[in-house]
Structure 1
Amino acid sequence: MPSQPGNPPINFDSPSAAAALGLDINLDNISVGGLVGGANRSDEDDRKKRMDAVIAALWAFDTGRVSNDGLERLAVHLGLECLWEPAGTGTENDKMLVMAGRTMCVEISIKNHVVYHASLSFNEPSPRLDKHIEKASAILFKDLALGPGESQLTKKLSKFRANLERLAMLDRLSVTPGLNCHEAIAGIWESLEMLHRWDVQRLREDSTLSGKSEENLRVLALCTRHGCPLMHARGRIGLTLDYWKQYRNYRSTSVDSEEGNTWGILIDCASASNMNMVYTPVRVSDKWISPNLVKTNPTDDEIMSATGPILDWLEPPNILLPPTEENKPETGLDMAGLTASKPADVVFMATFNPPVIVTNGVAMEIYKMSAFNAPLSSSTFDNLLFPVGQGANYDPSEPRVLKCMREVPVLLGVHQGQTKPTLKLHNNTLLVDKPVYGQVVTHVPISHPKDLIMMLPLLRQYAFLSLLLANSFEQRERAPTVSEPDATGEYTSTLRTTEREFGDFMSKAKGGNHSQHLKVDIVLSAHPIPRLQLVFPFRQTAAMINIEIQLEGKVHIVSDNIFSESESEGSQSKGKGKLLTRKQFAEKLELCENIGIWVEFIKHKLE
């Protein structure tokens, strides 16, 4: 058979071929070759729709590299206008690409396919937006510029694309005149930032926190008050309301630090056209809460149900967009002039980053706060936290057991002069005796930032629970860093009780030897409130401690068989430092965020 010139058409009929490319394009067994050649397809619209699906899948598979052509293709793909202009020296290889939308513009200066400048600007002057432009421009430039060890042949567009997509989405949803979605997001930041500054000021007035820095107080407000709003932080363009942070007790931690995990809520806008629900359209305002912040004359019901300050939320006016060519009636407006005016078909959308794993009952509470009707999951809570391996036998109605080995630093002989801890192995076992159904909460539409503030206690509760379980059972290549001493070699925290003593215990060993492993059993009960029962060898018997992870991520010791019966007397410690109460032991778990370290601290204090 004579050879055929050229390459044969790519065929996606085989599922394995599509899987090899990481694609899931659902072409109903229609080959790309057939699309191009038009075989068996006469409907041009249908062919175009399927080709668009192929292109979208290829875009998801590979974003391309930073280059003149790559940047232009990306801008066109996102629906932005492109214009090349001379830049810098004006030589042929030194150009500036202008990506323009309805409300904003991104300018990129590039020479020989290497970006040396990038900036964001808005078409209309806005003090509310202008204060954030410098940070946004710096992020865009960092996404495109060559970093240490990077080459222009391998520099990917992926980070820049993610940020440009957010800008382009807000731009597409904006309606000129009448609705600027960038302004709407910046207005929410103004109100949440005012609330955050008030939280920090109240913490500063607490005499027990007098030694804390401004950043320490901001992190404390982030985790215990009304969160911390950040605009354009940690490499992401947009607004995030952070509400929980790993290593939050470190003196060197800041709200925008990338050390450890941070839990936040991304606040964007989304189209409401496909939402089968009653929604409140987006509003543009920076007055979501009164300047006084707290109500001066709360109602009796508000006082009875309050667990903290009663905030004085405001309701900004709705937006009615002017008539356009699409919605303008042929006979003109009615007597009131409102026939063609309509509210924005846009809502605020809150996306949880990372998604929060909760029980179905808690998911219903969160959805109720946002008036969102979402289907509940048929997966169990523990399976969402620790997915069952492919091919493994799993019956959601049966108890489940997980095992994991962990390294824990422990000071076995500090009272005898030992200065460096030994790395001790823990053989951890997790038992889920009564599985409950759970849900991965990814996003909810909101009508007001107060909806998010109402969710924070629940979100912190399950964020801290997931952190504790991950530190004990999540598979890792190496043991997690438990503590990082400061320049003086001391571990510091926001908890003042026996701070120095606990800091010495927490100092990390370097090159320590492993000792015999300790068996720690943990029983998880997720309904109606998350509970953990810890069982581990203690003296000549076994310790049994039942703890609750309560709202706001607070730890409460429900029952035990090792602590002192008298809270006023504290737990007997055989002379190993200050006596501690159950509440103080619970605070230690909140501090170290690690069950293994907490168990060793208890044994160190009481054995």
Structure 2
Amino acid sequence: MATPTPSTNTPQKTLPAFSSPAPRSVPNTGTMNFDSPAALGIAFENAVGGVGMGISMSGMGMSSLGLSASAMGHADEEERRRRLENVIEMLKNKPGRVGVDGIIGLCNKQGLEVHRGPQGRGRDKEREMLELEIGTEALCEITVKNGDIADVNLELASDGPDINFGPTGSKILVDSLQPLPGMTKINLTLERFSHNLDKLLRMDKLSAPENGGVSCYKAVFGIYRSLKKLFEHEKKMALAVMEANAPFSNHKVEREVLCKKSGRPRINAGNCLGLSLEYWMDRRHVIPRTAKKQVSSSKGKEKMEMDSATEDEQSEDADSETNKIYSMTIECESSPSSMYTPIRVSDEWISGNIEKAPDAGDPDINNLLLNRSNIDWLEPPPTYLHLNPPEGENDAMNLDQAPGRLPNIRFIAKFNPPLIVPLSVAVTINNNLGLPELEIHATTFVGLALQPGEPDPGLEGPSTETTQEIRSEKMVLMLNRDGKEEQRKHTNSLYVPKSDYSRTIESLPFSHPRQLIEILPTLRQYAFTNSLLQHTFGQASPASAKKSTNTLLSPPLTPKSGQVDENALQLDVALSYSSPTPKLRIDLPRPASHSDTPSATPDFDLDSFLSSALQPATTGPISVAIEVMANAELMVTDQNLVPIPPANKDGDVDMEGAQKVSDKTKRISKALDISGDLGVWAGWLGREVERG
């Protein structure tokens, strides 16, 4: 070997000669540096023993394969075999492509029996049937024609006309085998279908005879029937107080119950297989254009309302960008019955009267204070394992399957999407459900909701005197002074304390549906707050985040000259995310003095910024402070838009004037509730000020 020439950047005068680390069978190519991709590729090929085989290595990093620079140079037969096994294992775990062979291969991995039906004849000679036995409860038939999935038929033993699991589940499965918009067939894999198949398999395995034979499907369907009965009752009560001829009354009352009452239970909603309890919808006041207008006749009205409700649900599922739905999927999971209350198979979780009689004793004081319905919940009896053990399982020492034992299965609600709440709220929910204490992590709302891919600001240190600033730019559709729509640029800034620690709730075990209904008002507070802020600041780039080293903030409306677009609307939001209520303070320029730059004011504390009383003004920025109460009810706590009438000389309050102020502030909060968008709402505030 020739001694390599020393680099000019190397302090040594000479380098010692070295011999090639390659195996003797590899030709000596002289000194090789890895600045060349081709040279690195040759070294990698030699290191893995010439494993080409047409396998694409895209997406497989060296570290995932256990490769390192030293390992590549000193690989022996055992090392090569281990690396090859890693590659094969990674390829095994990836779902195959959509097609007959791919589906059969997936079922073989899952241990499912697949019956391949005979091919068709004549014109249907390219037609083929696949029958999948998903345990003892479900059967799935897949029709393949010319290599494409033509139809899927799902049947369930526990299904019923009021459940309709099979037809709606069939639609979800066939959709999971079709390419998404913009996707080509060549890139279509079985990933979505595999996810749904896994869910069916888990439910069936828990219901298997060797686990006691308690049907998880029947247990979940029992909860659905009770929640559906409650939903229909609350919907009827809401419809009774609405004007008979109100347009889209069926849509409005259904969404009112979804977002303000006990939620809306649905089987196989959207692309989610199973029972979903929907508890919040973004922009619920926006009715889809596909909804039909209701007619005045009672018979026609009833029919059209049913059609409208069906189309409304379909449009909600299709247009998740406008009507995004927050829900909990109710499933079952394995859990020792000695540690947690097991599942109960019953349709009687709630009485036939739905609500307790007014003269019933021991009323819930919270229901009286919050004007909530006093639901008459019932406690179904425990569900025990079947008396007859499976064949060959007559072991007297098998105590887990002895008659009279409780099933080792519990209910669990999985959040879709996962919900971010303050740490104190997560702890309270866990305590109320009797769950283990949470591990304390210094995660914040900014890190979890707005910058999930970046290091969380709360993990940087224990400092509690840091305020995060997040900036973003949005194009917002607004109405100009002439009442015409136009796109306007918004430059947004969000200020949030670093000490507002938060957690993400992904799932919650429960023993009674009452526990889920009771926490819905709290969940809606943060579902609305998260949606509001993520829509405005969720796409902010990491470079736009800044930190202040103390709690004193310079006024957000005093940017340096030349740093902002004069035609853009500056929108500043201060957030207090901690319990019991999220608080938002919004500042934007007043249109009457839009061309003037607001003068600087002294520094102020963030808490004072959120809670201090504002004096009405005709100049300076518009300022509105809003609290998000239970069930996402909005309350304006401070504002400088509507002057408060002073007391007279006797100290009496002008009740008529105070009522007018209250009505106007409610109108401000209602506008935010309807729009569900800080930018659109800010534009509306500006137009209201211009109108006086």
Secondary structure at 2:570 match in 1? strand
Contact 1:376-1:439 within 8 A present in 2 as well: no
Distance in 2 between residues matched to 1:519 and 1:314, nearest whole Å: 54
Match among 317, 335, 346 for residue 409 of structure 2: 346
1:330 aligns with 2:389: no
1:300 aligns with 2:351: no
Match among 344, 359, 364 for residue 283 of structure 1: 344
Distance in 2 between residues matched to 1:55 and 1:447, nearest whole Å: 43
Q: 1:364 matched to which residue of 2?
A: 427
Distance in 2 between residues matched to 1:158 and 1:193, nearest whole Å: 32
Identity among equivalent pairs (%): 27
Q: 1:403 matched to which residue of 2?
A: 471
Q: 2:144 matched to which residue of 1?
A: 110
Distance in 2 between residues matched to 1:70 and 1:338, nearest whole Å: 38
Deviations 1:495-525 (CA, angstroms, capped at 9, x unpaired): xxxxxxxxxxxxxxxxxxx971222221111
- Do the aligned partners of residues 550 and 24 (structure 1) sit closer, same or farther apart at CA in structure 2, a change above 3 Å counting? farther
1:121 aligns with 2:147: no
Q: 1:193 matched to which residue of 2?
A: 228
Contact 2:447-2:455 within 8 A present in 1 as well: no
Going by fraction, where is strand more abundant, 1 or 2? 1
- TM-superposed CA distance for 1:241, in Å, is 0.8
Contact 2:583-2:625 within 8 A present in 1 as well: yes
Deviations 1:437-458 (CA, angstroms, capped at 9, x unpaired): 1101100111111111112111
- TM-superposed CA distance for 1:198, in Å, is 1.2
Distance in 2 between residues matched to 1:104 and 1:319, nearest whole Å: 22
Match among 154, 178, 181 for residue 213 of structure 2: 178
Structure 1 residue runs without a partner (length 5+): 12-16, 478-513, 574-578
Structure 2 residue runs without a partner (length 5+): 1-23, 28-44, 50-55, 292-311, 542-564, 593-618, 646-654
- TM-superposed CA distance for 1:555, in Å, is 1.0
Deviations 1:407-462 (CA, angstroms, capped at 9, x unpaired): 2333342xxxx231332322211112452211011001111111111121111100
Q: 1:508 matched to which residue of 2?
A: none
Match among 108, 111, 133 for residue 166 of structure 2: 133
- Aligned residue identity for 2:530: S
Distance in 2 between residues matched to 1:332 and 1:401, nearest whole Å: 60
- Do the aligned partners of residues 438 and 148 (structure 1) sit closer, same or farther apart at CA in structure 2, a change above 3 Å counting? closer
1:524 aligns with 2:524: no
- TM-superposed CA distance for 1:139, in Å, is 2.1
- Do the aligned partners of residues 40 and 390 (structure 1) sit closer, same or farther apart at CA in structure 2, a change above 3 Å counting? closer
Distance in 1 between residues matched to 2:434 and 2:128, nearest whole Å: 49
Q: Which structure 2 residues correspond to residues 195-274 of structure 1 after superposition, within 5 A?
A: 195-208=230-243, 210-211=245-246, 212-252=248-288, 254-256=312-314, 257-258=316-317, 259=319, 260=322, 261-272=324-335
Contact 1:589-1:598 within 8 A present in 2 as well: yes
Aligned length: 537
Distance in 2 between residues matched to 1:362 and 1:148, nearest whole Å: 39
Q: 2:612 matched to which residue of 1?
A: none
- TM-superposed CA distance for 1:401, in Å, is 0.9
Q: Which structure 2 residues correspond to residues 457-476 of structure 1 after superposition, within 5 A?
A: 457-475=521-539
- TM-superposed CA distance for 1:143, in Å, is 2.4
Match among 45, 56, 60 for residue 21 of structure 1: 60
Distance in 2 between residues matched to 1:175 and 1:598, nearest whole Å: 54
Q: Which structure 2 residues correspond to residues 555-594 of structure 1 after superposition, within 5 A?
A: 555-566=634-645, 568-569=656-657, 581-594=664-677
Match among 183, 188, 198 for residue 165 of structure 1: 198
Secondary structure at 2:108 match in 1? helix
- Do the aligned partners of residues 26 and 432 (structure 1) sit closer, same or farther apart at CA in structure 2, a change above 3 Å counting? farther
- TM-superposed CA distance for 1:56, in Å, is 7.1
1:423 aligns with 2:487: yes
TM-score by length of 2: 0.69
- TM-superposed CA distance for 1:586, in Å, is 0.7
Secondary structure at 1:362 match in 2? helix
RMSD: 3.9
Contact 2:447-2:454 within 8 A present in 1 as well: no
- Do the aligned partners of residues 246 and 148 (structure 1) sit closer, same or farther apart at CA in structure 2, a change above 3 Å counting? closer
Secondary structure at 1:241 match in 2? strand
Q: 1:496 matched to which residue of 2?
A: none
- Do the aligned partners of residues 146 and 584 (structure 1) sit closer, same or farther apart at CA in structure 2, a change above 3 Å counting? closer
Q: 2:296 matched to which residue of 1?
A: none
Q: 2:589 matched to which residue of 1?
A: 537
Deviations 1:326-384 (CA, angstroms, capped at 9, x unpaired): 97543799xxx995442111111111111111111011122233322243432123322
- Aligned residue identity for 1:533: R
- Do the aligned partners of residues 476 and 283 (structure 1) sit closer, same or farther apart at CA in structure 2, a change above 3 Å counting? same
Match among 584, 601, 605 for residue 684 of structure 2: 601
* Residue range with higher mean Cα deviation, 374-383 or 587-596: 374-383
Match among 99, 114, 130 for residue 82 of structure 1: 114
- TM-superposed CA distance for 1:130, in Å, is 6.3
- Aligned residue identity for 2:356: K
Distance in 2 between residues matched to 1:420 and 1:264, nearest whole Å: 37
Distance in 2 between residues matched to 1:10 and 1:438, nearest whole Å: 46
- Aligned residue identity for 1:300: D
- TM-superposed CA distance for 1:553, in Å, is 0.9
- Do the aligned partners of residues 386 and 131 (structure 1) sit closer, same or farther apart at CA in structure 2, a change above 3 Å counting? closer
Deviations 1:129-185 (CA, angstroms, capped at 9, x unpaired): 863211111222232257888765443212212211111111111133731212222
- Do the aligned partners of residues 606 and 151 (structure 1) sit closer, same or farther apart at CA in structure 2, a change above 3 Å counting? closer
- Do the aligned partners of residues 230 and 156 (structure 1) sit closer, same or farther apart at CA in structure 2, a change above 3 Å counting? same
Q: Which structure 2 residues correspond to residues 482-521 of structure 1 after superposition, within 5 A?
A: 516-521=567-572
Secondary structure at 1:77 match in 2? helix
Distance in 2 between residues matched to 1:19 and 1:148, nearest whole Å: 24
Secondary structure at 2:364 match in 1? helix
- Aligned residue identity for 2:571: V
Contact 2:443-2:456 within 8 A present in 1 as well: no
Contact 1:464-1:553 within 8 A present in 2 as well: yes
1:547 aligns with 2:626: yes
Secondary structure at 1:283 match in 2? coil
Secondary structure at 1:468 match in 2? helix
Q: 1:486 matched to which residue of 2?
A: none
Distance in 2 between residues matched to 1:407 and 1:148, nearest whole Å: 25
Q: 2:100 matched to which residue of 1?
A: 68
- TM-superposed CA distance for 1:102, in Å, is 2.2
- TM-superposed CA distance for 1:551, in Å, is 1.0
Distance in 2 between residues matched to 1:321 and 1:207, nearest whole Å: 48
Distance in 2 between residues matched to 1:286 and 1:331, nearest whole Å: 34
TM-score by length of 1: 0.78
Deviations 1:537-587 (CA, angstroms, capped at 9, x unpaired): 2242122221111111111111122223158448999xxxxx951112111
Distance in 2 between residues matched to 1:58 and 1:445, nearest whole Å: 34
- Do the aligned partners of residues 38 and 174 (structure 1) sit closer, same or farther apart at CA in structure 2, a change above 3 Å counting? farther
- Aligned residue identity for 2:208: V
Distance in 2 between residues matched to 1:220 and 1:23, nearest whole Å: 54
Match among 488, 495, 513 for residue 449 of structure 1: 513
